[in-house]
Amino acid sequence: MSVPIPSPSPNLARYVGRRAVITGGGSGIGQACVLRMLAEGGRVVAADISADGLQDTVAMAGDVDGRLTTVVMNIADEESVEAGIREALAVLGGLDTLVNAAGILRSSHLAQTTLADFEQVLRVNLVGTFLVTRAAIAALHEGNGPSVVNFSSTSAQFAHPYMAAYAASKGGVLAMTHAWASEFAKAGIRFNSVQPGSISSGMTDGTGAARQSVGPGLPEDADYSLFAKVAPMLPLSDGAIFARPDAVAGVVAMLGCDDAYFVTGTEVRVDGGSHM
């Protein structure tokens, strides 16, 4: 029995009155998160390094009564982050939900991995999450049921060959999320992470606005038998192997709103059971 694919427009209103900033909002899962929170009535600032990607998001969102604003921001650059978050907060007048979805992937054999590529993955995925969260934390202190959703990955805890830099960065995000959850628990700011796996996005398929920053895919001589144990268990009704980004966006929306008011310091795998 296959898993049905639901409508991308949920009949929910959990984000009415909520203000959200979502990085990586120009493509893939980040874009799906933007569309989901808009569909639930939220006011959203979508941030991304790609202006073209953000325009694509605006086009996909359609008429949302001015509830969507875009900000071009490079999360790996401290000044860009400070300016981008400042602009976002000026538009929203505060912040209730922060989603750190922006990231890049580099895949290569260890011997062919350059220091520049390794450091770039850490800079974007790990340091970028730190920079954005640090810039937003004061506003979150004043937010309504404040919540931060970070993007770890199944690769943080399970073997994904050729992706050591990515795994290291996402393992760091996982650990950092736990540390922040403890640090800010008494302030009522919740920190959780999602761990996507087997999700189709610009990062995994090299398409869309993220293609320029994602870089090459697996090595040409990659041993695909090494990926047998990470195949999803749940079949999809459209026959696809990877699920759509909205599979993750629904989980992010739950964690980012008051439905998860008693959930902090944990992670949710969204991988179709591939890492049971």
Least confident of 85-94, 142-151, 213-222, 252-261: 213-222
Given the residues 162, 166, 224, 261, the one annotated as active site: 166
166 in active site? yes
> Is-contact 146 97, C-beta < 8 A?
yes
Which CATH architecture group holds 19-236+244-270?
3-Layer(aba) Sandwich (3.40)
Quote the mean pLDDT of the chain.
Answer: 90
Residue 220: its pLDDT value, please?
85
Single pTM value for the model: 0.90
DSSP assignment letter at 164: H
Region for residue 265 given its phi and psi (left: phi exceeds 0; alpha: psi -120 to 50; beta: otherwise): left
**pLDDT tens column, 119-175:** 999 999 999 999 999 999 999 999 999 999 999 999 999 988 899 999 999 999 999
> Between vectors from CA 129 to CA 182 and to CA 174, what angle results, nearest 5°?
50
> Is-contact 66 38, C-beta < 8 A?
no
Beta bridge partners of 193: 150, 267
Report d(CA 119, CA 266) in Å as an integer: 26
Residue 65: its pLDDT value, please?
96
